[in-house]
Amino acid sequence: MSLQMQFVKCILCVILYIAVCFFLLKIKHSSYLIQYPVSLFLVKYNQTKQEYSVSQSNIKSINLEIELLEHDEMKGESINLQESATILQQISNVCMKYNLRTPLIKRHFLYNSEHKSMYCWIRKIASTSFTKLFADMKNRPPTRNYYKEVDSLTVRSLKELQLLSNNTKIFKLLVVRHPFQRLVSSYRDRIADNSKYTAQAWIYTEKIFRLTRPELFHSNITTGNFQQKVFTSDKRLKIVPTFEEFLVWLLQSSEKDDVHWTQYYSHCAVCNIRYNYVLKLDDYTYRQINYIFSKFGLDKNKVYFTTLGETQGGHTNFDTTCKYFANLTQDTVLKLHEKYKIDLEMYNYNVNYYMNCANKKF
């Protein structure tokens, strides 16, 4: 074979190689485009009523969802995406079952346009850790108070949130935990922990004691007034309402719930925003966190995550929650079930275990 002939063959090889590369890249690119599937349910905005509604008609097959998620799985993280996909479907079903409308409140959502990431914070569910993550994404200096940071990390306007809510290119994360554990955790941190001032103890203790200890409001010169009896001079509690007392007030209260015990579905507008992934903090794995990092476009080799925040006296797990529930009647647990029914149903949380914790007084 002549030298010229060999040279031509070589050139042809190179051209073929480039063509194949182009073809593969194109395939890869188009599969990226369908990475975030279209909404499982269709959200409509009614201008007259200024409200969102969920359309009954448009349920996409969950299999498509799983297929697309498995595609992600092949890119390195092997986690069980089926569970999250099932929960997403369940959320959509419950929204329709009760015909729920959930308001969009921009302050509840952290958003980073560069990382195409959105997250709904829920207090006492690792919200500080995730807020820190979003602060890091914006290269903000570390702070001791991530509560305050929230305002600089949220979606800028309601309009923007409306656009994001149906933007399929944004990875939207929801993090939940058993509503009863979260409630006990909130009580311990916001009411019972009197080593610090909290706005919740300051505001709600008076309302609680009006129902449960009216005698505290009878005052004379020697005993002092209510505030002198109940609070120290630096506004910390001297007399702490018990968990039962807290619930007596909470279960009859008609005021808007504090963000520490509000229902997840309304706080995070789950019927109007199509989330991509639901992390259950009750039994999450390191792999799931890695998966979220990769979807947030973060380098998992950099350490972003601080340890999850602890309540004074330790993490609130099932055993701790059960101890607090041991002082409740089954009737109270039933009422709690009723109050958090939608969240319990959406994320498939069991109530029976907690019912068994309650003392059986009938």
Ligand X SMILES: *[C@@H]1O[C@H](CO)[C@@H](O)[C@H](O)[C@H]1NC(C)=O
Residues 106-165 that bind ligand X (CB under 6 A): 162-163
Q: How far apart are CA 347 and CA 354, in angstroms?
A: 16
Considering the complex, what minimum distance in angstroms separates the CB of residue 165 from ligand X?
A: 7
Considering the complex, what minimum distance in angstroms separates the CB of residue 242 from ligand X?
A: 6
Q: Is 354 in the site for ligand X (CB under 6 A)?
A: no
Considering the complex, what minimum distance in angstroms separates the CB of residue 47 from ligand X?
A: 7
Residue with tokens 């709904």: 120
Phi, psi of 310 (to 5 degrees): -110, 145
Q: Is 325 in the site for ligand X (CB under 6 A)?
A: no
Number of residues that bind ligand X (CB under 6 A): 15
Tell me which DSSP letter residue 56 carries: S
Nearer to ligand X, 175 or 184 (CB): 184
Helix axis angle for 81-97 and 62-73, nearest 10°, is 150
Nearer to ligand X, 25 or 163 (CB): 163
Q: How far apart are CA 94 and CA 108, in angstroms?
A: 21
Q: Is 169 in the site for ligand X (CB under 6 A)?
A: no
The residue type at 302 = K
Rg (CA), the chain: 26
Q: Is 220 in the site for ligand X (CB under 6 A)?
A: yes
Q: Is 223 in the site for ligand X (CB under 6 A)?
A: yes
Strand extents, DSSP E, the chain = 43-46, 51-54, 109-112, 117-120, 171-176, 277-280
Nearer to ligand X, 48 or 252 (CB): 48
Binding mask 282-321 vs ligand X (x if CB under 6 A, - otherwise)? Answer: ----------------------------------------
Considering the complex, what minimum distance in angstroms separates the CB of residue 212 from ligand X?
A: 13
Please, are residues 175 and 185 in contact by the beta-carbon 8 Å criterion?
no
Q: Is 327 in the site for ligand X (CB under 6 A)?
A: yes
Considering the complex, what minimum distance in angstroms separates the CB of residue 221 from ligand X?
A: 6
Stretch of 12-20, 43-51, 144-152, 269-277 contacting ligand X, by CB under 6 A: 43-51
Q: Is 46 in the site for ligand X (CB under 6 A)?
A: yes
Quote the tokens at residue 347: 């994320």
Q: Is 243 in the site for ligand X (CB under 6 A)?
A: yes
In our burial notation (b when 16+ CB lie closer than 10 A, e otherwise), range 129-164 reads bbbbbbbbbeeeeeeeebeebbeebbbeeeebbbeb
The only residue of 35, 42, 45, 290 in contact with ligand X, by rule CB under 6 A: 45
**Separate counts of helices (H) and strands (E) for the chain:** 16, 6
Judged by the rule CB under 6 A, the positions of this chain that interact with ligand X are 45-46, 48-49, 162-163, 166, 220, 222-223, 242-243, 323-324, 327
